[in-house]
Amino acid sequence: MTYANVERAATQVGLIVMGALHPRPSEAKQLNDGTLILLGAAGAFWPALKASAEWQDGQPDPVDRWSRRVIGQLARDMRGTAYYPFGDPPYAPFIDWALKSGRTFSSPVGALVHDTVGMMMSFRGALHFADEFSIPSVSQSSPCTECPAPCATTCPVGALNTHSFYDVAACHDHLDTKTGHSCMNKGCLARLACPLSAGAERQPEQSAHHMKAFHRS
């Protein structure tokens, strides 16, 4: 197995590689050896999902069901083991894995930020391989270091901020108001304000779907 093979297979199904690590030297939680590849969503994901049976069958949780089917098939095809950031406990430690990949960092408001999709990151799963094969080197320098941090000042109600991270109640209450319609229909304004978030190529329809799911939770 090679990193290029995994990246190519992920791209073909509408996913991107969002990070890679060797669990043993990085001291990643839960895994002790081999190679771990983190998979997520970018521009090609939404069209692939909408064309799927999971989206069209009208049943709950189409995103998770699509992810489990598609990434599960990748694991079978490439003789790896699939992990998901959803489902029942015990939960896979995706935050630990993401941070140790060197491509994900903590933003000024506490939320995670990725080096190519910014704060609109969406991990859909991971593939673990027994072999420790070569992965690209990364700078491990946070993109927030030289950023003026618009994420810290954009939220209309200060739900995302630099002192208490995330005021979920304030966010929920704002979404119920007329002025909150923009967040509901286009996505979190603070996360969209991150200059790197444009790399996710997130369509408003996709953001609206996720915001509705969040608002129901």
pLDDT of residue 179: 84
pLDDT of residue 176: 87
Residues 113 and 105: beta-carbon distance below 8 Å: yes
What tens digit of pLDDT does each residue of 135-178 get? 999 987 899 999 999 999 999 999 988 887 788 888 988 988 88
pLDDT of residue 212: 86
What is the DSSP secondary structure assignment for residue 143, as one 8-state letter? T
What is the pTM (predicted TM-score) of this model? 0.94
Residue 152: left (phi > 0), alpha (psi -120 to 50), or beta?
alpha
CA nearest to 125, candidates 56, 77, 69, 79 = 69
pLDDT of residue 90: 92
pLDDT of residue 120: 96
What is the DSSP secondary structure assignment for residue 151, as one 8-state letter? G
Concatenating the DSSP letter of every residue in the chain gives --HHHHHHHHHHTTEEEEEEE-HHHHT-SS--SSEEEEEEE-TTHHHHHHTSHHHHT--S-HHHHHHHHHHHHHHHHHT-EEE-SSSSSSPP-HHHHHHHTTSEEE-TTSSEEETTTBT---EEEEEEESS-----------TTTT---GGGT--TT--B-SSSSB-HHHHHHHHTSGGGHHHHHH--HHHHHSGGGGGG---HHHHHHHHHHHHH-
What tens digit of pLDDT does each residue of 75-128 get? 999 999 999 999 999 999 999 999 999 999 999 998 999 999 999 999 999 999
